[in-house]
Structure 1
């Protein structure tokens, strides 16, 4: 057996073993340390309720918990394609199938000359750090669109844009992965494909379902979730005597009380600033490698995640998927960032579901868990953007571009990634 086939066989065995463990955890979801059934309840109750509404040809209008773009509808209806199974079982089966597709795509990309299987290994081994949470949320499906979009960039600009658009219509954030596409004709083709795909799908969804844009009305009232960066600040303020409290609203545990609106406004301001930094990088960048679109996608989603008013545990699925894409390329600048994300993922599982009561009540344990997890994410975001900036704007990078590419890698950079005048 060749070394390549042996590596792929080991990855397949690792996937089977880790996913069996995740299924076991899901089957024992009622254990105290696994959330007492809280993790699986979202699929069995909330998603299933939405499925009933969607199956009648309309989105859940007026439902404060429905805050997702129209593309989420078909994803939540998909378990109906397996009528022999319960909705919950069918959802888990489809999530595992999507997970397998992501693994296959990463392994296929990493097996090409000059690429690496580290990305597939990271996805296989790091996703179980979230325990059974990925199997009971539809973020694996969203991440699949982003991963496939990035991995098809060098082969088909139309496919890259189309997959990004489909992901954005399911959960918005995949639109960010196009921030690092090479300037010139490549970007025009990808962004045009994304716009045309999004427009066409919106027309279809609006024709098939009623109230497709009602989700926009539910976004404005969002507060500060307890697991966000702003929530960490309010958690420590609560320990110091701040009179605020925690309440379940808009599908999350959020702080309510004095100064919460100011913290939420500060988070939005930081998000705008992050977007400005990304645009500045794009204007200033002069050097693209095969990994630059991957690195930029990870940096963008990290910045928007850290500055968001909400950082749910399943958001780590997005970051793991994008980290895995980065590691398929030997040109990537994001290896230390990926390591920080893996550690933050492990701590996220301690905070939820194991110690979520501590986080909800803002105990010292809960506050410190959030401080460490969010501190790691903030550090990762800063490091990610700094390394992206230096790789694209430094004099050394420019010199390398003019002399034929990265000096330490003999593999040529595909023409699609070379900066055009």
Structure 2
């Protein structure tokens, strides 16, 4: 007698996963083709790939001898960046450049898989995975030649793990922060109580343990602090946009390559840099104010808060390189995995800013460097979109958790399968 099996339910995995995988393969093949042809003028004349083939490979040689690049003005990264840049050397039979791109694609696949899996849970959405898969190629081949995809993977996994495994989420946030600082902001929106205690304690222990290991294995792990403090005003930052427009009004400054980026040099650049730092402090104060005043958490609040915080810190930064958009795309994608996110319009603005970024660099970067009207207008458009996104993001986050509109913005009940700590939680002072 034969046994009848229950038919496999026609779940979303059968409908979405093959299409998502096909889209990932097609878009990443296109990005690889662009990288292979990046010596073409519209693709940067080799400037995009040069950073991996020359600078990263040079640092790899220094790190492999047991030291961080001490007294190197271009080394401005926390010590966790060392293992990331050493990792390509573990792949046998490949050049450093090829191995680095392979590692980046592997991290990209991890992000895609994590977002797709999160989107299949009850009450969730696959939109986040689709935004990541289709949004990253807007930056052309830049993501494959920078290690920001790897950093973003730490933040994405951290946020998606927080609800069910706060300690794991905290550990990933700490590991990411040791690579490029900003993933620490993934923990800014954890619900008060046990989730926050577990996540933040795990982050502290993980950071201390990893720092101890890196300090034992390498010389000069904290030299980056001295180099980071010397950075000026990058031409693509908000301050750089102001100075670029000032050149048309007679400001005598010029753009010069220093500290790994094109920066403005001339009168008042120090004041503009100081103003950017002051705005960053103000942004941090705003985020802390939200944290203190927030009384209502939904399943999406940790995601929304992380995006808001990183947006605010991005727009106030002295440096807004094109690869910063990778971070924002990853956080937008995490937000869109929840049907209760308040950040959908923000994600649309970030996508638009990403597309403009790719036009500015590498396409018309010469115009930006020379501060022509075309270059200035491109930067005004990109940075204007980011400023609008940051303002809208904070307002929507505030309304969802602090203002009187919060009960109307929050879901009527918890998502099925969601951690109870995130399900429309109200907290006391």
TM-score (ref. length: structure 2): 0.95
Residues 18 and 125 of structure 1 are in contact (CA less than 8 Å); yes or no, is this contact kept in structure 2? Answer: yes
Q: Per-residue displacement from partner, 1:65-111 (whole Å, max 9, x unpaired)?
A: 00000000000000011121000000001100110010000000001
3-state DSSP of counterpart to 1:258: coil
How far off is 1:416 after superposition? 1.7
How far off is 1:155 after superposition? 1.2
Query: Match of 1:284?
Result: 293
How far off is 1:154 after superposition? 1.0
Query: Match of 2:5?
Result: none
Q: Is the counterpart of residue 191 in structure 1 residue 200 in structure 2? A: yes
Q: Is the counterpart of residue 207 in structure 1 residue 252 in structure 2? A: no
Q: Is the counterpart of residue 54 in structure 1 residue 49 in structure 2? A: no
Residues 351 and 370 of structure 1 are in contact (CA less than 8 Å); yes or no, is this contact kept in structure 2? Answer: yes
Q: Is the counterpart of residue 365 in structure 1 residue 374 in structure 2? A: yes
How far off is 1:399 after superposition? 7.3
* 1:371-390 equivalence runs, <5 A: 371-390=380-399
How far off is 1:395 after superposition? 2.1
Q: Is the counterpart of residue 71 in structure 1 residue 80 in structure 2? A: yes
Q: Is the counterpart of residue 224 in structure 1 residue 229 in structure 2? A: no
Number of aligned residue pairs: 417
How far off is 1:148 after superposition? 0.1
How far off is 1:220 after superposition? 1.6
- 2: CA distance between counterparts of 1:389 and 1:413? 22
Q: Is the counterpart of residue 244 in structure 1 residue 253 in structure 2? A: yes
Residues 154 and 416 of structure 1 are in contact (CA less than 8 Å); yes or no, is this contact kept in structure 2? Answer: yes
- 2: CA distance between counterparts of 1:303 and 1:344? 15
RMSD over aligned Cα atoms: 1.3
- 1: CA distance between counterparts of 2:386 and 2:132? 18
Query: Match of 1:266?
Result: 275
- 2: CA distance between counterparts of 1:353 and 1:205? 35
Residues 183 and 419 of structure 1 are in contact (CA less than 8 Å); yes or no, is this contact kept in structure 2? Answer: no
- 2: CA distance between counterparts of 1:299 and 1:399? 20
* 1:66-145 equivalence runs, <5 A: 66-145=75-154
How far off is 1:410 after superposition? 6.8
Q: Is the counterpart of residue 414 in structure 1 residue 423 in structure 2? A: no
* Structure 2 CA distance for partners of 1:256 and 1:314, relative to 1, 3 Å: same
Query: Match of 1:326?
Result: 335
How far off is 1:185 after superposition? 1.8
How far off is 1:246 after superposition? 0.5
- 2: CA distance between counterparts of 1:342 and 1:407? 29
Residues 122 and 415 of structure 2 are in contact (CA less than 8 Å); yes or no, is this contact kept in structure 1? Answer: no
Residues 228 and 309 of structure 1 are in contact (CA less than 8 Å); yes or no, is this contact kept in structure 2? Answer: yes
How far off is 1:51 after superposition? 0.2
- 1: CA distance between counterparts of 2:414 and 2:209? 41
- 1: CA distance between counterparts of 2:192 and 2:408? 19
* Structure 2 CA distance for partners of 1:87 and 1:412, relative to 1, 3 Å: closer
Residues 235 and 368 of structure 2 are in contact (CA less than 8 Å); yes or no, is this contact kept in structure 1? Answer: yes
3-state DSSP of counterpart to 1:248: strand
- 2: CA distance between counterparts of 1:214 and 1:282? 32
How far off is 1:414 after superposition? 2.9
Residues 176 and 184 of structure 2 are in contact (CA less than 8 Å); yes or no, is this contact kept in structure 1? Answer: yes
| Structure 1: segments with no counterpart, 5+ residues | none
Residues 182 and 419 of structure 1 are in contact (CA less than 8 Å); yes or no, is this contact kept in structure 2? Answer: no
Residues 165 and 198 of structure 1 are in contact (CA less than 8 Å); yes or no, is this contact kept in structure 2? Answer: yes
Q: Per-residue displacement from partner, 1:248-300 (whole Å, max 9, x unpaired)?
A: 11000000000101110110011000000011111111000000000000000
3-state DSSP of counterpart to 1:338: helix
* 1:22-33 equivalence runs, <5 A: 22-33=31-42
* Structure 2 CA distance for partners of 1:250 and 1:10, relative to 1, 3 Å: same
- 2: CA distance between counterparts of 1:198 and 1:87? 28
How far off is 1:237 after superposition? 0.2
- 1: CA distance between counterparts of 2:426 and 2:150? 32
